[in-house]
Structure 1
Amino acid sequence: MTTLTNRPNTALLVVDVQIAVVEEAHERDAVVANIGSLVEQARREEASVVWVQHSDDELVRGSDGWRIVPELAPGDAEPLVEKHYGDSFEDTALETVLSGLGVGRLVVVGSETDACVRSTLHGAFVRGYDVTLVSDAHTTFDKTAWGAPPPDQVIAHTNLYWSRQAAPGRTAGTVPAKAVDFGPTAAVA
């Protein structure tokens, strides 16, 4: 149950599924397909879909690589939050957007598992949200050259790690795309 008052709704949060971010990502096509299926499910179930789009010195706003992948298209009425830091809440309008939608629970998908996705999971959780990570709808590219484990291990470890998170009044967990439920959360009245 979220610690946020009067926020019973669930939103799908799509983090940084941009051309340059996922072009070399582990199992890119399968992950993007799973995200696409979840976007359609959320729309059918009238759950909010909120898009997050990163930019910085290397990922220049307006460039081809900055754009959302062509397989996915934000709806005209779906909020798109631009960010410059790993945590999608940091110095953005995300909290205002989610508050306005009455969202107390987030279902998180996207890229990079070991950077923006993980930072956003924690950012949401410490702000009082219930946070579900979709185990087969997040990805990262190979960073073994910098000492990181292979991408499949990064993803598996993040899934394990997030399935064991706990905090007073909030829930966390990891589920596969086929088990996602966009139903309302038991929000604090």
Structure 2
Amino acid sequence: MTTLPDRPGTALLVIDVQNGVVEGAPRRDEVIANIASLVDRARTEDVPVIWVQHSDDGGLKEGSEAWQYVSELPRREGEPLVHKRYSDSFEDTELEALLAERGVGRLVVSGAQSDACIRSTLHGGFVRGYDVTLVGDAHTTEDLTQFGAPAPELVIAHTNLYWGFQKAPGRCGGTVDTAEVSFGAAE
């Protein structure tokens, strides 16, 4: 249903599952296990897996231990790695070109953080014409309650809730759990 012509393919995006991003995140191990399951399924079904890695001048300096991807999610040679400096994985990166090369019009999104890079990338893909599915049990966020944010579990639940109802002319959003993910075209 994507609005992108001649792009029937699906890609799995794995966003910012880096040591410094998911350290102390709720359900960290469960989320990483779900992402690993998605990666295995995508590889088995010849679905592109595209890795996204954030860097900044603060705690995620390129090359630092915090910047590194978690060891439980090894990237295979040939799987693209998109380096970003903004929340939206499309912003000032080669992500759009990589997806176009692979004929991708539908994204399956996983990773961190729910209320920052996940939300920004969901919206970034959607406004660019992609169908975008969020994997509800394959994303997490840090605890920002000291700054007035809701508890992480509520942030995750709210993100799952509102993304489940996203639709626009010619494209759709949606939220599913890992076990319900289909890498086929959106319905």
**Which TM bucket (shorter chain)?**
over 0.9
Match of 1:168, as an amino acid? P
Report what 1:87 is aligned to.
Answer: 88
Report what 1:154 is aligned to.
Answer: 155
Query: 1:87-142 CA deviation, whole Å, 9 max, x = no partner?
Result: 00000000000000110000000000000000000000000000000000000011
Report what 2:30 is aligned to.
Answer: 30
The number of residues matched between the two structures is: 186
Report what 2:41 is aligned to.
Answer: 41
* Unaligned residue ranges in structure 2 (runs of 5+): none
RMSD: 0.9
Match of 1:35, as an amino acid? I
Give the distance between the partners of 1:131 and 1:181, measured in 2 at CA.
12
Report what 1:5 is aligned to.
Answer: 5
Task: Point out which structure has higher relative CO (alpha carbons under 8 A, 6+ apart).
Answer: 1
Match of 2:176, as an amino acid? V
Match of 2:38, as an amino acid? L
Amino-acid identity (%): 63
Match of 2:175, as an amino acid? T
Alignment of 1:103-122 (within 5 A): 103-122=104-123
Match of 1:7, as an amino acid? R
Give the distance between the partners of 1:185 and 1:121, measured in 2 at CA.
15
Give the distance between the partners of 1:76 and 1:7, measured in 2 at CA.
24
Counterpart check, 1:66 vs 2:64: no
Q: Return the TM-score normalized by structure 2.
A: 0.98
Q: Are the aligned partners of 1:13 and 1:51 in contact in 2 as well (CA < 8 Å)?
A: yes
Match of 1:145, as an amino acid? Q
Where 1:66 maps in the other structure, the secondary structure is coil
Report what 1:175 is aligned to.
Answer: 176
Give the distance between the partners of 1:184 and 1:89, measured in 2 at CA.
21
Match of 1:150, as an amino acid? A
Runs of 4+ in 1 over 6 A off after TM superposition: none
* Unaligned residue ranges in structure 1 (runs of 5+): none
Q: Return the TM-score normalized by structure 1.
A: 0.97
Give the distance between the partners of 1:56 and 1:101, measured in 2 at CA.
28
Query: 1:35-89 CA deviation, whole Å, 9 max, x = no partner?
Result: 0000000000110000000000111001111011000011101100000000000
Q: Are the aligned partners of 1:51 and 1:81 in contact in 2 as well (CA < 8 Å)?
A: yes
Report what 2:102 is aligned to.
Answer: 101
Give the distance between the partners of 2:69 and 2:102, measured in 1 at CA.
22
Q: Are the aligned partners of 1:10 and 1:185 in contact in 2 as well (CA < 8 Å)?
A: no
